[in-house]
Amino acid sequence: MKILILTHRVPFPQNGGYPIVVYNTVRGLVTMGHEVSLVALNPKKNHHYEHNEDDKDLLSKINYRVYDIDTKVSIIEVAVNLFSKTSFNINKYYNPEFEKLLMRELRKTAYDIIQFEGLFVSLYLPAVRKFSKAKLIYRAHNIENQIWERLSMQKTDPFKKSYLKMHAKRIKNYELQQLNNFDGIAVFTEQDKSTLMEYGTKIPIEILPVGINLDHYKPDFNKTEFPSLFFLGSLDWLPNREGIEWFLDNFYKELTEGDLGVRFYVAGTDIPERFDDYEVMGKIFIQGEVDDALEFVNSKSIMIVPLLSGGGMRVKIVEGMAMQKCIISTSLGAEGISFENDVNILIANNQDEFYAAIKLCITDEEYCKSIGLNARKLVEEQHDMNKVTKNLVDFYRKVI
């Protein structure tokens, strides 16, 4: 099949859930012998990446196009948007020149499948429909309006709560308008499928979990610091930022002065400068972006996922499981993963539960290793990239 993947950011490097999912999808489809094109928006704030050998190998096998856009929104534009019916968080990804590039691509190649990776590229759906007879698949990385709704529920400031609720409503209206315009929808979790069906979605919906290349995940416990806590994720995603702020605010004293005698490392992209204020020499480390994410994960023992809002499936948890990490997460953070609490993950939904889980883990290394080993088995059974890709292609064939 000839397959076009549309994305709102480039999947290089694989430093977050979205690029990991896109990259592994493309890699899996190419491995199966399909002809793949990838057309990506590249917000100008993103640095152009120096491709490694694996990336170069994949790029040599696909048709890859990138278009730089500026997604910055001025204060004036935000103010004007208050009187609009749409959300600037979506509209900022529309670029007429990119649309022209896309139309040229569609005139040149007759695709069988065009896959829209997330809500932001759905802005180009009318143009794609006009210039292509391909079947259109929408992959819901998240139910976007739920993120904003859940964020609003965490706020006590009336203005912030009202502002977030407004955006949640606008984004939901947009999602409802778009969903039935596709030929099929792929989601990561049963919860997301149920939500879309409640929204009145009539087209086929398939549950396809996150797939990863297990050959890349090779834990080496000789290089692991025990005990140690870590968080890895992009803090330009609001649920991540909110969650890690909650954790640091609630456990700062316990980690620096209390009886949780364990180092805590925070790594990832787009960490605001104000997070430097949390850093305490020898106890809390705000590291920012790391050169090798898997090497960083391997070097630490207990993964913290204090997610309070959001949706979809947390790719970083799947990766942590593949690296045999002992993971402590909220129920929301682990949503969509077929976990067993106290078997392949630890679930903690409030401060007391997090404290108890951390205390248990830092005092029992063998227990941590057993949780991690069971987590790896789960990923091998349900998240192997080749199995997931085969199921995705089977879904394409059903839609066609």
Q: What is the DSSP string of 324-360?
A: T-EEEE-TTTTTTS---BTTTBEE--SHHHHHHHHHH
Residue 286: helix, strand or coil by DSSP? Answer: strand
4's tokens: 């076009």
Q: How far is CA 298 from CA 179, 245, 293, 319, in A?
A: 39, 24, 9, 11
Is this structure's pTM higher than 0.75? yes
List the domains of the chain with CATH numbers: 2-211+385-399 (3.40.50.2000), 215-382 (3.40.50.2000)
pLDDT number for residue 310? 65
Per-residue pLDDT tens digits for 185-238: 999 988 899 999 999 999 999 999 999 999 999 999 999 999 999 999 888 888
Task: Give the pLDDT confidence score for residue 17 in this predicted structure.
Answer: 85
Q: What is the dihedral of CA 79, 83, 85, 88, to 10 degrees?
A: -10
pLDDT score at 77: 65
Beta strands 113-117 and 205-207, pairing class: unpaired
Instruction: Please state, in angstroms and rounded to a whole number, the distance separating the CA atoms of residues 388 and 400.
Output: 19
pLDDT value at residue 47: 55
Successive 10-residue mean pLDDT values, the chain, 400 residues: 96 87 96 97 72 91 94 70 74 93 93 97 96 97 83 81 87 92 95 93 95 94 97 88 95 94 93 95 94 94 90 82 98 90 97 97 97 98 95 97
Task: With H, G, I as helix, E, B as strand and everything else as coil, classify residue 289.
Answer: coil
Contact 331, 34 (CB under 8 A): no
